[in-house]
Structure formats: structure tokens, C-alpha cells
Amino acid sequence: MTSPENSSTDFIRAIVQEDLASNKYEGRVVTRFPPEPNGYLHIGHAKSICLNFGVASEYSGGVCHLRFDDTNPLREDVEYINSIQEDVRWLGFDWGQHLYYASDYFDALYAFAEQLIADGKAYVDSLSADEIREYRGTLTEPGKESPYRKRPVEENLDLFRRMRDGEFEDGAHVLRARIDMASPNLNMRDPTIYRIRRAHHHRTGDKWCIYPMYDYAHALSDSIEHITHSLCTLEFEDHRPLYDWTLEALDVYRSQQIEFARLNLTNTVMSKRRLLQLVEGGHVSGWDDPRMPTISGLRRRGYTPAAIKTFCEHVGISKRDTVVSMALLEHCIREDLNRHAPRVMAVLNPLKVVITNYPEDKVQEFDAVNNPEDPAMGTRKVPFSRVVYIERDDFREDPPSRFFRLAPGREVRLRYACYITCQEVIRDPETGEITELHCTYDPESVGGSTPDGRRVRGTLHWVSAPHSLEAEVRLYDYLMMDTNDEGEEDGRDFISRLNPDSLQVLSGCRIEPCLAEAGRGDRFQFERQGYFCVDSLDSEPGAPVFNRTVSLRDSWARIEQSQGRSGVA
């Protein structure tokens, strides 16, 4: 048995260590990640995945099951099953042989239900859904017992079998656990464990017209798989007594449920219901839209598995609900890409510059460093010629006092190339728009030397006009203008809080010729602009599309400096 290399131990790892020390589960640690296949995985799921697979590999050589909690056929789909597996694998985790479906246990779950009935621990209730709700009582009032609660075992068994055989309409009866209608915990007031629902299941087809409820199915699935530590989010804390009751009543393997705080992030939404609404309403291009907090969206945006894992480590595991700043997630991908992404020059909003004293047909190649953080990444050649593009924002005709970039009569450095001085501004005679600049260069400054120690304050990125390639660049901003993911339940309100400027598409951008080789998913730093990756869907050879992963400005580093470190917004 190995102890974790990571010495930072959260309360869950502390429990696991204690259980190992006391030999509670004969030295076993088996966890599971149990998504419901009703949507794509999001960054919140990544937290749960890192925890479950992480704990398993740290303490037991890596047994973590992937189990699809497919007990609600109306909302589930194979598309989701496939995407979930792809996303877990992409994050770098492996369930080995241990891929399971709650639906594989439907026969077992049914048999357990008959056993509960036989033991007098469950009964068929024929109240309507509304009546059941009414009888349940409230937080301050105890519930009332259903008139059907005292049905004899034989009658319950007969009715339950006929429910299974399709003799009754949807909603005509339910099977309920017989626990305690006066319990202060509403979950213990005879919770429903089976309902009639004529729905086609993507795995079991039309075999069943009754389906088990989540709490019942989940506890027993854990038990069937001999899960030792069943890690779930805090909203299930009040369900734990039912979890324990179920396993005890049936005297089966006792898995242990432990709750932790879910991940909440600023400026996005994470409930799958809302994400689905965004997809179905056409507010985004799909589950993998780079603005989505989904794993597939983050992947397409240019995020790496390493950055997502680092983020989950930073956030940590606790019992307290917090909202984590999106700036922390961005900080994590910046740190990763800063070290690993090659740097190139790209001009997003080009302004033509003609260097009038540079020969028309001359081309020079300058050496550019691929990544100053990693000398092993080497250098490349960047072609230079008489006509280059610079960023339109890097020129001001009337520069304000702290503007150190190009202006009439002013000299700046073109990175890796030479010094240029702006001599003339050319305008469209009709519109007055600046169409090009005429500049001169200092031949003495070529290749990075500094003639007569002259100081030049601005350094601009650029590309050679005839050598550069055209590209589309997509800039993203936060999906949501604010942070309230829970809040009002009115769907329209949430849609109205979408950030209308979350996507900006720039066409006619000019990029360095070395990017002709870039393949889908490749990541770069565009100097002075941010980190970008080649879009995995829309990019074509000869017509590249780049997604901005994140800008260069690290607001998290600044927050950290001013407040000391904490993962909380």
C-alpha cells in the first residue's frame, strides 16, 4: 500500500487513511465516478474525477469505477455516454475493466425491492403524486401516514409485480420505503424507491416500465460494486441516512458516503439543465463551444488536462461551499502554456507599413526564440521584407502621454528585426481612414544591435506582408456577466444575464508563415496577445481558425499579490 506523494491531505484523504489504519475495508480503497449520462461533463465534474481517481490511485493502486447512473431514461442519451468516456480519458484517467451501468443492476435492484417488501420495509402506495407531496408534511410539521401504508405483504408483492408487468398507468402506484413519516429529515419520510414510467431505455430497451429512484439505485450500485468510499457533493448530506438505511435494511455491503463541497465558478453556469438550455436555444454552438465550462469546450478552447488538474488541486477539497474565481482557472492555463506553448507573432488587426528605404525584392530572415522559458524549444527563422503588418492599435497619430508605441516621427523596435521610424501617414481620401504608414528603417539596427546606444521604448510584433498567412481569430469573454448559478429558477432570467460580447470574430488576421504547419488543437502564444489554439472543428489547411484560450494579463497573480493566496473569489 502506498501513501500519497502529495503531503497536502484533505479531510477525505484523512478518512481514507484512518480506514486503512483500522483495516475497516481489509485494506481496500475503491471509489467511483458516477455521472448521469444526461449532458456533457463540466469543470465541476473534473473536480470530482480528480478526487475519485486521485484517491484511488494514491491509496489502492488505482481502482476507480466509471459508472453511468442511467436510471432516468427520459433525459439520457448515448451521445453523452461517449462524450463522458472521451472526456475522462482526455483528462488522463483510466477505469480499466471497471466500466459499469446502473441499468446493469435493474434485475438485482428489483429483487432487492421484493426483499424489502417481504421484510415489511417497503409498500406500494396508491396515492397520487400530489397527495404524496401533501402527506409528506414540511420541515416544521411531521408527515401523515398513507392509508396504503399497512397493506399486507402479499398484496404489496402482487401489486409491485403487476407494476413491473405493465398492468398500471404511469403514476398509478409507487413503491415506497417504510421508514418514518415523522422523521425530521424529509428524505426519510417513506421515500419513493420505484415509479412506473413507460420510457424506452437506451440500454434495456422496453424491458422495464418501472424505474428505481436515484437514492435507492445509487446506494445499492455502490454496494454491489463494493465501493468503499462513495464521494459525493454536499447536497446529498441529507440523503446519507437513506443511503445507510437502504444498505442496512438489505444487509448488504456497507459503502460509506462522504460529502464534499461542489465547485462553483464565477461568470459561468454549470448546471447541466442550463447548459442544455444554452445548446438547445442556440446561444452557443454546441456542448463544445469554447465558451462553455464543459470539458469538451475547455479542450476546444485550448485548455490542457494538466492545467485543469492543477486548478482542481488549487481549489482543494472541503466541506464549505465557495465560489472560485474564473481568474484562478485562467491563471492555471497561463502557467502551463507559458512554459510549453511556442511563441509566434500574429497581427490581429493589421495596419500596413511600407519601409521606404528597404529594397523592394530583398528578404531577410531573422532568428526568433521559440520560448524564452525553455531554451530547448530552439529558434526559428522569421522572414522580413519591405512591407510588414503591425497592429493597428500600436499606432496613434496623437499619442497620449504614456503611449510608447509608434506615432508620427517616432522610432520603435520591430521585435527580432530592426528599428523603424514613422515618416508619413497615408489615408483613404474618401473615408479619411489610415490605410498605411510609410516608415524608414535604420540598417545599423538590423538583427537586434543597438546603434549608438539609442533608447527605443516600444517593441512591436509584426509579420512580413507577402510571407504572412491569413487567419480567422476568435476572441472569447466570459459566458455570463455575473456569477449567480443557483439563484432564480426562471430560465429567461438566466438567459438575459448572458454576456452579449462573449464572442468576437476577427477575420483577415495575419500570422507568421511557420503557422502553416500548425495542426488542429496546437497551442501558441501570440506575442503580446495571449494564448491561442487551432480550432479542432472549423480550422482547415490554408484557412486556419484560432481560438484565444486566454489573454496574457493575469488578474489572479495580482489578486494573489494583494491578498495573499486563497482559492476563493
Footprint of ligand ATP on 313-342 (CB under 6 A): none
Distances in Å between the Cα of 515 and the Cα atoms of 148, 291, 341, 351, 471 are: 72, 24, 13, 20, 10
The reply on whether position 48 binds ligand ATP by CB under 6 A is: yes
Active site residues: 36, 262, 272
To the nearest 10 degrees (0 to 180), the angle between helices 214-224 and 240-249 is 60
Chain-centroid distance, C-alpha 306: 13
Cell matching residue 54:
486521485
Choose the stretch contacting Mg ion; rule: CB under 5 A; options: 30-38, 181-189, 307-315, 369-377.
30-38
Choose between 73 and 143: whose C-beta lies nearer to ligand ATP: 73
Distances in Å between the Cα of 443 and the Cα atoms of 408, 461, 546 are: 20, 18, 35
Please give the residue whose beta carbon sits closest to Mg ion in the complex.
Answer: 36
The reply on whether position 54 binds ligand ATP by CB under 6 A is: no
Dihedral angle at the C-alpha atoms of 32, 37, 43, 46, nearest 10 degrees? 20
d(CA 331, CA 553): 9
Number of Cβ within 10 Å of residue 344's Cβ equals 22
- Considering Cα of 321, then 262, then 324, then 495, what sign does the dihedral take? negative
Choose between 39 and 544: whose C-beta lies nearer to ligand ATP: 39
Q: Which of 35, 73, 350, 530 binds ligand ATP (CB under 6 A)?
A: 35
Contact letters for ligand ATP, residues 225-264 (x by CB under 6 A):
-------xx----------------------------xx-
8-state DSSP, 296: H
Footprint of ligand ATP on 260-299 (CB under 6 A): 262-263, 270-272
Of these partners, ligand ATP, Mg ion, none, which one is at the site of residue 45 (CB under 5 to 8 Å by kind)?
Answer: ligand ATP
Q: Which of 44, 54, 73, 305 binds ligand ATP (CB under 6 A)?
A: 44
The reply on whether position 45 binds ligand ATP by CB under 6 A is: yes
Choose between 57 and 370: whose C-beta lies nearer to ligand ATP: 57
Q: Smallest distance from the beta carbon of 225 to Mg ion, in angstroms?
A: 18
Using DSSP's 3-state secondary structure scheme, residue 404 falls into: coil
Dihedral angle at the C-alpha atoms of 72, 75, 78, 81, nearest 10 degrees? -70
Choose the stretch contacting ligand ATP; rule: CB under 6 A; options: 43-51, 75-83, 240-248, 436-444.
43-51
Choose between 307 and 355: whose C-beta lies nearer to ligand ATP: 307
Choose the stretch contacting ligand ATP; rule: CB under 6 A; options: 34-42, 242-250, 284-292, 397-405.
34-42
Task: For residue 395, give every residue at least 6 positions away whose Cβ sits within 8 Å of its Cβ, in sequence order, or none.
Answer: 351, 405, 406, 407, 422, 434, 437
Number of residues binding to ligand ATP, judged by CB under 6 A: 14
Task: For residue 531, give every residue at least 6 positions away whose Cβ sits within 8 Å of its Cβ, in sequence order, or none.
Answer: 302, 333, 334, 337, 341, 523, 524, 525, 548, 549, 550, 552
Please give the residue whose beta carbon sits closest to ligand ATP in the complex.
Answer: 44
Dihedral angle at the C-alpha atoms of 115, 243, 96, 62, nearest 10 degrees? -130
The string of DSSP letters for 424-442 reads: EEEE-TTT--EEEEEEEE-
Sheet holding 31-33, edge to edge: 31-33, 64-68, 99-101
Q: Which of 13, 16, 20, 34 binds ligand ATP (CB under 6 A)?
A: 34
Choose the stretch contacting Mg ion; rule: CB under 5 A; options: 24-32, 36-44, 132-140, 232-240.
36-44
Choose between 125 and 259: whose C-beta lies nearer to ligand ATP: 259
Choose between 72 and 445: whose C-beta lies nearer to ligand ATP: 72
The residues of the shown chain that bind ligand ATP, judged by CB under 6 A, are: 34-36, 44-45, 47-48, 232-233, 262-263, 270-272
The residues of the shown chain that bind Mg ion, judged by CB under 5 A, are: 36
